Amino acid sequence: MELDTAIRRRRMVRRYDSQRQVPEAVVIAALDRATRAPSAGFSQGWDFLVLRAPAERSTFWDATTDAAAGGEPDSWLAGLMTAPTLVVCLSDPDHYLDRYAEADKGWTDRDPTRWPVPYWDVDTGMAALILLLTAVEDGLGACFFGVPPDRHTAVRDAFAIPRNRRLVGVVSLGYAVPHPRSPSLRRGRRELVEVTHWGRFGEPGPLAPPSVGEDGGARGAPDPVPADRPRR
């Protein structure tokens, strides 16, 4: 499948065929691709906890929801709970602090304040995105979702996750079944011209992306923005 096709077909799938498990080989291949994500200094400060057995998934949902207390999940959660495979995406700041303390980087104080952006989380998120795109190519549905902040400790305890690992999010994997469209989609996608700035923030660029020819070059590039176009 072409990358452009996978990107355009990608959707957050929130309901799965719970009786149809994802083949183990498919999961392993997806994880292998995820580890090809970029990371600062090639630190690769990520771990992926794979939960496939019913007992493992039940433990996860007990740790992250009120299911154990008899609470009824809403339709969103009930749909996600049908996923036959969960991948908990963890980041490891120490991998980055150690890597950047090496001679070629020189941050020997291992000071986290040198990192105003937590790239351990960013890079793990990039790996999660590769999982989402790989799912499309493999004919699977997938969804990235977070763990409630007050449930992180419970998840760590349930699965013996080291305290220095951060729970960036979870990717559910499975074979999609029909489910209602997310009401959030009614908001519409922000236009390219609204979110891109050329040369200076607030300066508009081309009105539409060019199509791409087979040779990778632009084909039918859009006309430039008219000079009298109002600036934002």
Point out the domain boundary residue: 163, 180, 197.
180
pLDDT digits (tens, 9 = 90+) for 7-51: 888 999 999 999 999 999 999 999 999 999 999 999 999 999 999
pLDDT at 214 over 60: no
Same domain for 147 and 216: no
* Residue 49 lies in domain: 3-180
Higher-confidence residue of 181 and 92: namely 92
The reported pLDDT for the residue numbered 227 is 39
Same domain for 90 and 203: no
The reported pLDDT for the residue numbered 230 is 35
Same domain for 100 and 29: yes
The reported pLDDT for the residue numbered 215 is 47
Same domain for 204 and 106: no
The reported pLDDT for the residue numbered 231 is 35
pLDDT at 160 over 90: yes
Higher-confidence residue of 5 and 138: namely 138
Same domain for 54 and 76: yes
Domain count, the chain: 2
Closest CA to 20 of 104, 139, 112, 129: 139
Same domain for 112 and 199: no
| pLDDT band (50, 70, 90) for residue 221 | very low
Same domain for 198 and 157: no
Q: Do residues 49 and 88 make contact, with C-beta atoms less than 8 angstroms apart?
A: yes
pLDDT digits (tens, 9 = 90+) for 80-138: 999 999 999 999 999 999 999 999 999 999 999 999 999 999 999 999 999 999 999 99
| pLDDT band (50, 70, 90) for residue 6 | confident
Same domain for 89 and 19: yes
The reported pLDDT for the residue numbered 220 is 43
CATH number of the CATH domain containing 7: 3.40.109.10
Same domain for 150 and 76: yes
Distance between start and end Cα atoms, the chain: 38
Same domain for 125 and 12: yes
pLDDT at 225 over 70: no
Q: How many other C-beta atoms can be found within 10 angstroms of the C-beta atom of residue 140?
A: 22
User: Angle CA(173)–CA(174)–CA(176) in degrees, nearest 5?
Assistant: 120
Same domain for 101 and 23: yes
Same domain for 84 and 12: yes
| pLDDT band (50, 70, 90) for residue 73 | confident
Residues facing residue 49 across a β-bridge: 88
What mean pLDDT is reported for the chain? 88
